[in-house]
């Protein structure tokens, strides 16, 4: 009788446990006070000092290595081509599901990188600002698909990134209000940054073919990309918890888009948030967001309590 030996498929990633990853940081010593951590964390997240030390300091050190390498390569290319060109920003993309904590990750990385020995100027841009205005989404029948690829002004985002990577000295990015659930009339000004973090659920997605800009993807402009991952059961729990907290805070504001839900009971809030997840956010995660995970250079895998349990780094 013949026996067959199972052959494991090689992985494109090197996997680190939390403890293995925590041992990697040696050269950079940056600390955040409890007040600073509280300001950076999301509404239903708690950033512990251990999370900063064990996860985000090694990550910042890794990013610093990539930033230094990009700068050195730029200098070498200038010498090779015998031309003096201005250095363009190092761009980091951060993707992941709604409620997975990617915004907190982006803010932490921005703060830590800005405190590196070279004191780089680090700007953070969220792709929420490139969602079409609610009036446009209503007109196109897309309000219930907000966050899906077709709800974004991808050409506007690509144009912004093109200017960014062309070395433009001054740029503007549209801003978004989570209170009114709509784009604002105000703009975020980006002036000569050293590093730009672009955060959003859609940053690793492959856009539909455009007649104006064929086969160009947002991720084409990234020097390094991160995907924040977690089991859907955990993400749904975080989404429901955030909805309940917002019901008692932001939703109480008459200007809130969700003001109508301010008096929901706990049971009603849980049911309503679960229905939204199953009908919109969960579908978007399954169809459009999670399939982009393996396009990232690094994957942060979270467990209960937003605690990062595993890190995967793409082999080079």
Spatial separation of the C-alpha atoms in residues 250 and 289, rounded to whole Å:
27
**CB-CB contact of 108 with 40 (8 Å):** yes
Spatial separation of the C-alpha atoms in residues 280 and 143, rounded to whole Å:
10
pLDDT at residue 179, rounded to an integer: 93
Spatial separation of the C-alpha atoms in residues 58 and 26, rounded to whole Å:
8
Regions in the chain scoring below 50 on pLDDT:
none
pLDDT at residue 117, rounded to an integer: 86
Q: Let me know if residue 284 belongs to a domain.
A: yes
Q: Let me know if residue 160 belongs to a domain.
A: yes
pLDDT at residue 109, rounded to an integer: 97
Q: Let me know if residue 9 belongs to a domain.
A: no
**CB-CB contact of 28 with 116 (8 Å):** yes
Q: Let me know if residue 2 belongs to a domain.
A: no
Q: Let me know if residue 8 belongs to a domain.
A: no
The angle, 0 to 180 degrees and rounded to 10, between the axes of the packed helices 57-81 and 102-114 is 60
**CB-CB contact of 235 with 303 (8 Å):** no
- Owning domain of residue 53: 14-314
Q: Let me know if residue 6 belongs to a domain.
A: no
The count of other CB atoms within 10 Å of the CB of residue 45 is 19
pLDDT at residue 25, rounded to an integer: 74
pLDDT tens digits, 100-126: 999 999 999 999 999 988 899 999 999
For the chain, give the secondary structure using H, E and C. Answer: CCCCCCCCCCCCEEEEEHHHHHCCCCCCCCCCCHHHHHHHCCCCCCCCHHHHHHHHHHHHHHHHHHHHHHHHHHHHHHHHHCCCCCCCCEEEEEEECCCCCHHHHHHHHHHHHHCCCCCCCEEEEEHHHHECCHHHHHHCCCHHHECEHHHECHHHHHHHHHHHHCCCCEEEEEEEECCCCEEEEEEEEEECCCEEEEECCCCCCCCCCCCCCCCCCHHHHCCEEEEEEECHHHHHHHHHHHHHHHHHCHHHCCCCCCHHHCCCCHHHHHHHHHHHHHHHHHHHHHHHHHHHHHHCCEEEEECHHHCEEEEEEECC
- CATH code of 139's domain: 3.40.50.300
Q: Considering its fold, how many domains does the chain have in total? A: 1
CA 70 distance to own-chain centroid: 21
Spatial separation of the C-alpha atoms in residues 194 and 120, rounded to whole Å:
6
Q: Let me know if residue 1 belongs to a domain.
A: no
Paired strand residues for 151 = none
Exposure class string for 97-107: b at 16+ Cβ within 10 A, else e: bbbbbbbbbbb
Q: Let me know if residue 5 belongs to a domain.
A: no
């Amino acid at each position: 009788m013949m026996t067959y030996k199972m052959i494991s498929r090689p992985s494109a990633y090197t996997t680190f446990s939390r403890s293995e990853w925590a041992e990697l940081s040696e050269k950079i010593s940056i600390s955040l006070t409890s007040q600073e951590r509280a300001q950076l964390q999301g509404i239903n997240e708690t950033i512990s000092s251990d999370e900063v030390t064990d996860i985000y300091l090694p990550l910042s050190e890794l990013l610093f290595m990539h930033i230094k390498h990009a700068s050195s390569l730029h200098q070498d290319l200038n010498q090779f081509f015998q031309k003096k060109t201005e250095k363009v920003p190092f761009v980091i993309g951060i993707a992941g599901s709604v409620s997975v904590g990617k915004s907190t990750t982006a803010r932490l990385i921005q703060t830590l990188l800005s405190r590196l020995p070279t004191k780089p100027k680090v700007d953070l841009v969220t792709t929420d600002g490139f969602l079409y205005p609610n009036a446009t989404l209503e007109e196109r029948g897309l309000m219930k698909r907000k966050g899906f690829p077709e709800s974004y002004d991808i050409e506007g985002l690509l144009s912004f990134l093109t200017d960014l990577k062309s070395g433009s000295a001054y740029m503007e990015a549209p801003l978004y209000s989570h209170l009114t659930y709509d784009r604002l009339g105000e703009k975020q000004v980006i002036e000569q940054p050293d590093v730009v973090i672009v955060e959003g659920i859609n940053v690793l997605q492959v856009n539909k073919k455009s007649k104006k800009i064929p086969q160009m993807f947002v991720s084409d402009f990234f020097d390094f990309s991160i995907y924040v991952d977690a089991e859907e059961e955990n993400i749904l729990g975080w989404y429901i918890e955030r909805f309940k907290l917002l019901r008692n805070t932001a939703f109480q504001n008459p200007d809130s888009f969700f003001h109508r839900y301010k008096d929901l009971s706990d049971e009603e809030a849980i049911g309503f948030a679960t229905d939204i997840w199953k009908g919109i956010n969960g579908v978007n995660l399954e169809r459009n967001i999670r399939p982009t995970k393996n396009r990232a250079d690094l994957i942060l895998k979270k467990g209960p309590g937003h605690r990062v349990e595993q890190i995967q780094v793409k082999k080079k």
